A = this chain, B = another copy of it.
Amino acid sequence: METYKEILKDSGIKPTFQRIKILEFLDKNPIHPTVDMIYMALFKKVPTLSKTTVYNTLDVLRQHALVNVLTISESELRYEYARKPHHHFMCKKCGSIFDVDVGCIYQDSMSIEDHKIEEIQGYFKGICKNCLNNNLQEN
């Protein structure tokens, strides 16, 4: 199993302690966190961490295609460890974001209506299955 240090090195990124920790957090917590969620979680174990570093690191990781930025929320950006392409569902009630593993027919297209495609984001919004179940129990 490849370590985070190795993943960073292989991408040409100097594997600093902070970068390793942020990458590890994203990998182990597929919750599509905000910058603040990452900062709050890691601050407990790395009290010297600064929020600027989280921003900087996410930028670096993104430039090397290790993380994706999601604009699914209207108020702040969300981040995820980049695995294979997929779409996302955001619950309007609890706010959680889920991966949805549906085949996108444009995933392998080079262009759409003569525009060159470099990136595809598919966002679904509504009520997640957990909230749907909780609603039933309340009745």
Contacts and interface: CB of A to CB of B under 8 A. Distances in A.
Interface residues of A, number: 35
Copies of this chain: 2
A100 interface: yes
A102 B98 contact: no
Contacts of A118: 92, 125-127
Interface stretch (A18-26, A29-37, A107-115): A107-115
Max chain B Cβ within 10 angstroms of own Cβ: one of A74, A91, A123: A123
Interface of A: 69, 71-74, 77, 89, 91-92, 98, 100-102, 105-106, 111-129, 132
Given A98-B113, A121-B122, 16 more contacts: A71-B72, A71-B73, A74-B77, A91-B115, A100-B112, A113-B129, A115-B128, A115-B129, A116-B127, A116-B128, A116-B132, A119-B124, A119-B126, A120-B125, A121-B124, A122-B122
